[in-house]
Amino acid sequence: MQNQVTDNNNSTQKPDGSWIAELGRTIVLSIVLALGIRTFVAEARWIPSGSMEPTLHGSPNQWEADKIIVDKLSYKFSNPQRGDIVVFSPTKELQQEQYQDAFIKRIIGLPGEQVALKNGKVYINNQPLPENTYLSPSQQTVVNVCTSGPQPPFLAKSVTIPPNSYLVLGDNRNSSYDSRCWGVVPRENIIGRAIIRFWPLNNIGGIDKSPLYP
């Protein structure tokens, strides 16, 4: 039989509140772990706008919007890739326009690449980018949507993407405020990659069809 250790000589012990202390420690540990996971590993987000339609459904009402898991860990060991859907904090240009909330867009151009818009399509290093797996046929990639922000828009002419920066576009090209208008996203602004949709329940699973660029 396990010996009981006491801190007094009385044969009858009084409750010392230790279970309350233990419960408190458990709650604090749970909160710390939850915050740690959210800070360093992954977090849940919902899509507040329609800029990523039809890939992700957005709505100001979070219960009508798609909800996703954002992987915050993998980019610590590998570089973002073309086609990744990323969540990022506002760039300096966007902050100057008083944007504070995170954006979600698709990476289209990588560091060092030349990007241009021709005849409603994206050209990477003078080659058209096949985007039929995530763009509807009616979508045209033009700068006419850039009615606010810097003028002329960033992609009004061909650009070369700076080091450690990415050009991002929304899948709903007709209604997306993205790199065409205000510029590139520094890697340090990228929070993580959208990997799984967990709401609505009838559409749980991966987000994109594969392969993106056959």
Question: Which amino acid appears at position 146 of this protein?
Answer: C
Q: Is 105 in the active site?
A: yes
Rounded to whole angstroms, how far apart are CA atoms 67 and 128? 32
8 Å CB contact between 123 and 113: no
Q: Is 92 in the active site?
A: no
The sign of the CA dihedral 81, 83, 84, 85 is: positive
Residue 85 pairs in a beta bridge with 106
Given the residues 59, 72, 89, 105, select the one marked as catalytic: 105
Rounded to whole angstroms, how far apart are CA atoms 158 and 176? 19
Closest-CA residue to 196 (of 185, 205, 186):
205
The sign of the CA dihedral 42, 112, 184, 117 is: negative
CB atoms within 10 A of CB 58: 20
Q: What are the two backbone dihedrals, phi and then psi, of residue 140, each rounded to the nearest 5 degrees?
A: -120, 135
Question: Which amino acid appears at position 42 of this protein?
Answer: A
Place of tokens 């859907």: 85
Given the residues 11, 30, 49, 51, select the one marked as catalytic: 51
Tell me the Ramachandran region of residue 112: left when phi exceeds 0, alpha when psi lies from -120 to 50, beta otherwise: left
Active-site residue set: 51, 105
